[in-house]
Amino acid sequence: MNYLVNNFDVVAKLFLQHLQLTLAVIFFSLLIGIPLGLLLARVRWLRGPVMSVLGIIYTIPSLSFFVLLIPLFGLGTRPAIIALTAYAQLLLIRNWLVGLTTIEPAVLEAARGMGLNGWQRFWQIEFPLALPMLLAGIRLVALSSIGIGTIAAFINAGGLGVLLFQGVITANYDKIFTGALAVTVLSFAANYFIRYLEQRAEFRIYGKRI
């Protein structure tokens, strides 16, 4: 614990970097995933091909994915965010799609029959009803990005992985322990915070926590 006490500012800086990286990944994942998921919900035949492509991307080992992106995007956070966002799509879209497609058909038919246009149906009906599943997807994205994000330190993306790599190279177990502890704290915090949002969204629909 000595390392943490003596280098608190360094650890805090890396912690924030890691958080930033994760938030950036969530942001870009949503930017792509929400419209893409909506498209898949509407156009059934696209689901198979798109989900398989996302599945294939997900199987690329993370370290090689980061390294493969270096010639294209250089070192730093950029390739890290791109790779993590690519991974995130499978987790995010699968959940979002389940959320959208499991809405009771009668609810959608009623909304259509009452004269809500497409935009109103999305914002007033589909989005709030699929929100718990979307948040579950975001939680998975956050957790996997925090985890895989440690490896991104290898390509100079910063974050808490820096402590781990440096600790391993210099055989500084205190440093390794500090890094691992910080990553765990971040994961737990992210998990509980998003789970809380999820439960609120669920509560609105089901009236109980499930």
Partner 1 sequence: MSNEMISSTADTNILPVSESGEIVFERVSKSFTTNTNPAVDQVSVKIPAGDLVVLLGPSGCGKTTLLKMVNRLYEPDSGKIWMGGKEIHTLPVNELRRQIGYVIQQVGLFPHMTIQKNISIVPHLLGWEEKQIIDRLEMLMQLIGLPVSYLPRYPRQLSGGEQQRVGLARALAADPEILLMDEPFAAVDAINRERLQSELIDLHGKLNKTILFVTHDVEEAFRLATKIIVMRAGKLVQYGTPLELVTQPENEFIEDLLGSSNILRKLSLVNVNSILKARKNQSIFTGGSQPVERPGTVLHPEDDLRSVVSLLLCSGRDSLPVKDSENHLLGTVGYSDLREMLISNLPSE
Summarize as ranges the residues that interact with partner 1 (CB under 8 A). 104, 106-117, 120, 124-125, 128-129, 204-207
Q: How far is the CB of 128 from partner 1 (least distance, A)?
A: 5
d(CA 67, CA 56): 17
CB 7 within 8 A of CB 162: no
Of 48 and 118, CB closest to partner 1: 118
Residue 126: CB atoms within 10 A of its CB come to 20
Residue 67 or 108 with smaller CB distance to partner 1: 108
Residue 119 or 171: which CB sits closer to partner 1? 119
Identity of the residue, 71 or 113, whose beta carbon is nearer to partner 1 in the bound complex: 113
Of the candidates 16, 18, 14, 22, the residue with the CA atom closest to the CA atom of residue 175:
14
CB of 134 to partner 1, least distance (A): 14
Terminal-to-terminal C-alpha distance of the chain:
38
**Between 32 and 116, whose beta carbon lies closer to partner 1?**
116
134 in Cβ contact with 96 (< 8 Å): yes
Helices (H), the chain: 2-6, 8-42, 44-59, 62-73, 77-101, 105-113, 118-120, 127-149, 161-169, 173-206
The residue among 185 and 205 lying less far from partner 1, judged by its C-beta, is 205
Question: Which phi and psi (to 5°) does residue 115 adopt?
Answer: 95, 25
The burial of 159, by beta-carbon neighbours within 10 Å (0-12 exposed, 13-18 middle, 19 or more buried), is given as buried
Residue 208 main-chain phi, psi, to 5 deg: -145, 160
Q: Write down the least CB distance from residue 132 to partner 1, Å.
A: 10
Query: Cβ of residue 166: shortest distance to partner 1, in angstroms?
Result: 49
Nearest distance in Å: CB 90, partner 1: 27
For residue 127, the minimal CB distance to partner 1 (Å) is 10
